[in-house]
Amino acid sequence: PARARKRTPLTLRATAGLRLLPEGPAAADAIMDAVRSKLVRTGFDVDPSRGVSILSGDDEGLYGWVAVNYLLGRVGGPGGGRSQNQNQNTVALADLGGG
């Protein structure tokens, strides 16, 4: 709800599409600055120095691995509870896009 915006943290992380822009890092920085400027004005709790950034390839891969294994019930779960699949091994993830 609108009344909770200032208490709701908002973070944005861009991925390979911005890391690999043919126009280079200056273009990516300009895009991120514009996005940061817009998000800060939304009323959400956006940290202007750290709330908008570009993920490293390693972090992007790690978040992908966590997401897949969470969705399969292999790690985590709603409310921190254990699911019936958590006794199984996690699955591997091969991210073939970006860089």
Residues 71-88 have pLDDT tens digits of: 888 888 665 555 666 667
Q: Look up residue 45 and give its two tokens.
A: 């709790």
If we measure between CA atoms, which residue out of 50, 23, 24, 26 comes closest to residue 36? 50
Model confidence, pTM: 0.73
Main-chain phi, psi angles of 12, to 5 degrees: -125, 130
23 is catalytic: no
Q: What letter would DSSP give residue 54?
A: E
- Give the Cα separation of 2 and 85 in Å (integer): 37
* Active-site residue identified among 51, 60, 69, 74: 60
Residue 46 has pLDDT above 90, yes or no: yes
- pLDDT at position 42: 92
